[in-house]
Structure 1
Amino acid sequence: MTSPVWHPFTQHGLNEPIPQVVRAQGATLHLADGGTLIDAISSWWVTTHGHCHPRIAAAIADQAGRLDQLIFAAYTHAPAEAVARGLIDMAPRTNGQPELAHVFYSDSGSTAVEVALKMALGYWHNLALDGLAQARSRILVLEHSYHGDTIGAMSIGERGVYNAAWQPLLFDVDTIPFPAPGREQACLDALEAACAQHPAAFIVEPLILGAGGMLIYPAHVLTDMAAICRRHGVLFIADEVMTAWGRTGTLFACQQAGVVPDIMAVAKGITGGAIPLAATIATAPIFDAHLSTDRARLFYHSSSYTANAIACAAAAANIAIWREEDVLGRIAVLADGIAVRLAQLALHPAFSNPRQLGTIAAIDLDAPDAGYLSDLAPRLRAFFLEQGILLRPLGNTIYLMPPYCLDTDQLDRLFAALTAAGDRFGVQP
């Protein structure tokens, strides 16, 4: 019987197998046919501590029996208050003092980014109403970026076949070149020139671009980007949807650059990956620009499930894990294990450009017809599925982003599968 389900990023016309997962534990997915998979990409970068973590699962079950959902317009509940205070306490700081001060909830990375954009434009709109500034509306973005699949998020991301159908809906942005090795200063010079034209904001994935190919750039470039924006009074927005919760080796990627953004979007690992939740965190000036006795000046954004109580309970449990356990220690051990094996894999003649940031690792497979829409990635996915591993290459870029509970044997299996993929699909000298 054909399933009525329409899956994301899936061309159903190719009739690729769609395995059914019946349960999960740690880094292991259990299939309906009795097989297992190592979840090497944290089920699209969300699962941090492992699937069905007992502390998070218990918090969800407890909250579900007390308060499941509440309208969040002019009402509140304890889990949302606790998570907001926890986020502000954990967020990047300047000289130990918090600058990010207000938390707005949503339900996904895309919507967290949409909220960030609306906050930025609302900030300039309201300052202009008060005669304190000229209205600004242009957004600066970084080349090869990805920020989500809603209309605003697509507008500020890389343009291509994946959003060509909706081009009439997308707004124009100004693009800053990616700071590739040897091109860092060109990037900064372009940002300086663009900021001199008084745009509203610059949004960036800090330190690593995810869907754009796992492209890494130095922390000092991020530091300089933020400084340029601050010098010109341009709002600096950090999209930490992928990079937060330890992925880059620190709780937030911005911490490695000593950067406190004006607005920061977080999602994915905010609940440990158990249930959807997102947050957009803003400094006091952003909030204050919307603060008024005039109801026309309020921040017009919401969704039905804003700050869902069950999701917030999961996030509170995740924050408690970060506070009470040595999560960064586990991350460091995993990152070291990845580094050793990645260096060995880089000696394989079919691979090039190995790169790593925290527990995120990527390497390019040198193969014929390796474009984004070639059949290489589907063939690699099928091969890894046969090997008992969930991986989802970006064209010829194979990346790992496993949960932090991954053990040594599982890590060995991952890299053995990568080596085998190089043997089968790579161009041999």
Structure 2
Amino acid sequence: MSREIDTATLQEYDRKFVWHPFTQMREWEESSPVIITHGEGSFLIDSDGNRYLDGVGAIWTNVHGHCKREINDAIKNQVDRIEHSTLLGLGNDKAALLAKALIDIAPSGLAKVFYSDNGSTAVEIGIKMAFQYWQQRGRKEKTRFISFRNAYHGDTIGAVSVGGIDIFHEVFRPLLFTTIQAPSPYCYRCELAECRDSSSCGLLCLQRLEDLMAAHAGETAGLIIEPRVQGAGGMIVQPRGFVRKVRELCDRYNILMIADEVAVGFGRMGTMFACQQEEVTPDIMALSKGITAGYLPLAATLTTQDVYDAFLGEYRELKTFFHGHTFTGNPIACAAALASLVIFEKERLLESLPEKISYLSARLAELHRLRHVGDVRQDGMIAGIELVRSKETREGFGWEERIGVKVCLEARKHGLFLRPLGNVIVVFPPLSISLSEIDLLIDGISASVQAVCD
């Protein structure tokens, strides 16, 4: 239908009827929005035929590029069989096959899959599982959660409660439950007075975390962490070994570890899951975004046999996990996810990533020469480029100056689509991106930063 309607009409309908997420709509209503109608590989194509390299992978979801034939075919085949039934009282073939496939590739020790439909709900389920687990293990005092500053785990109330980004979360404070917040290892923003350099930051944060655990272990049900990279907090990269030390502390203080791999899972770190970078198995792991390679809403919360067993009992005991979603285990979404996993294996995608990660790192390093690039953070196929007013003093631009937004708008002139996190430019392309497309991406970012900031 959109192909038959001119761009001006589509823009009018969008401005008049669509409420966009994380968007000040007064500004949007005064703009001429780009209307995407097609996708091809690493590129988005708008209603006027303009092409933009998708530098944020459809908001961190795209793995194999847009409009991948094998996934298209899997979805079409499934539509001809059945669109949806329910997992309340029934199973379906695709949900069963995907659950087996996920356990086969997950960190060793994860054994069960609970489906939902987005990252927030995957996290919400993990929180509720951890809470109910201790209630049914006879430790009713263990009701609190440890989270990290700068964390982002989604936008439902439980997920917001364990978040730590005031600009997103402060307005909802009266609705939230209180958590125990630990510092995140981010040197000059970690808020630890004794921190002097990045080499000591992780150790200091771990010591502060252990102090909190020692004080609160008896009342703490779980700790939640974005392993390796805190995403919406500004692409904050943790030092090597940090996740393993967190796992060891959770074991020592008898606290369930919840890994939020919604953004960092499915190859983004160079391994299928970020926890595997440090040979860690969490007690609960939340997945979404890349699970269907960006095609359809689907999420999964994986957990261990021990956690699962705490919910087994007689019907009258009410140990059931009373949580569910209408589209849980949707067979079309599961078919897309299964097709994506086949592509991982067939195209040996994980084996291709070290070269791309190394090349991306080398190209990103060139950005340090720019006067207004204060920091470049990268892990795997994720990066954040922090813009500052003064590199020497690390004085930042005010958020109200919208420097990140302006750079991303400038980038469209260079054939890029980007989204900022405040004044951090996010690099999160499809994993299928080529080396020449990485050149296009970094060259365009460099030109855009200089055009706006110099």
Q: Unpaired segments of 5 or more residues in structure 2? A: 1-11, 187-197, 391-395
After superposition, where does 1:14-413 map in structure 2 within 5 Å?
A: 14=27, 15-93=30-108, 99-128=109-138, 133-180=139-186, 181=198, 182-196=200-214, 197-198=216-217, 199-294=220-315, 296-367=318-389, 370-413=397-440
CA distance in 2 between partners of 1:10 and 1:18 (Å): 12
Find out whether 1:6 has 2:19 as its counterpart: yes
CA distance in 2 between partners of 1:43 and 1:300 (Å): 32
Amino acid paired to 2:73: A
Amino acid paired to 1:280: T
CA distance in 2 between partners of 1:69 and 1:134 (Å): 38
The number of residue pairs the alignment matches comes to 418
Amino acid paired to 2:384: A
Higher helix share: 2
Amino acid paired to 1:329: E
CA distance in 2 between partners of 1:144 and 1:122 (Å): 26
CA contact (8 A) 1:47 1:269 kept: yes
* SS of residue matched to 1:79: helix
CA distance in 2 between partners of 1:68 and 1:346 (Å): 50
- Deviation, 1:410, is 2.2
Amino acid paired to 2:329: A
- Deviation, 1:229, is 0.4
CA distance in 1 between partners of 2:401 and 2:163 (Å): 21
- Deviation, 1:214, is 0.4
- Deviation, 1:127, is 1.0
CA distance in 1 between partners of 2:140 and 2:357 (Å): 47
CA distance in 1 between partners of 2:362 and 2:167 (Å): 36
Pair 139,373 (structure 1): closer, same or farther in 2 beyond 3 Å: farther
- Deviation, 1:193, is 2.3
Deviations 1:314-373 (A, max 9, x none): 111112222333111222232122112112222223223222111112222223862344
CA contact (8 A) 1:381 1:391 kept: yes
- Deviation, 1:183, is 2.0
CA contact (8 A) 2:402 2:423 kept: no
| Superposition TM-score, scaled by structure 2 size | 0.89
- Deviation, 1:218, is 1.8
Pair 236,325 (structure 1): closer, same or farther in 2 beyond 3 Å: same
CA distance in 2 between partners of 1:17 and 1:405 (Å): 30
- Deviation, 1:375, is 1.9
CA contact (8 A) 2:54 2:418 kept: yes
- Deviation, 1:134, is 4.2
Pair 256,401 (structure 1): closer, same or farther in 2 beyond 3 Å: same
* SS of residue matched to 1:346: helix
- Deviation, 1:280, is 0.2
Pair 79,335 (structure 1): closer, same or farther in 2 beyond 3 Å: same
- Deviation, 1:242, is 0.5
CA contact (8 A) 1:177 1:186 kept: no
Output the aligned Cα RMSD: 1.5
Structure-2 residue corresponding to 1:96: none
Amino acid paired to 2:288: A
In percent, how many aligned pairs have the same letter?
A: 37
Deviations 1:223-253 (A, max 9, x none): 1110010111100010000011111111111
CA distance in 2 between partners of 1:344 and 1:248 (Å): 21
Amino acid paired to 2:321: F
CA contact (8 A) 1:367 1:425 kept: no
Deviations 1:169-202 (A, max 9, x none): 1110000111232222222222222223221000
CA distance in 2 between partners of 1:213 and 1:159 (Å): 10
CA distance in 1 between partners of 2:404 and 2:369 (Å): 22
CA distance in 2 between partners of 1:274 and 1:401 (Å): 16
Pair 33,20 (structure 1): closer, same or farther in 2 beyond 3 Å: same
Amino acid paired to 2:69: P
Q: Unpaired segments of 5 or more residues in structure 1? A: 94-98
Deviations 1:351-398 (A, max 9, x none): 232221111122222238623443212212211122221111112211
CA contact (8 A) 2:265 2:287 kept: yes
CA contact (8 A) 1:195 1:232 kept: yes
Amino acid paired to 1:190: R
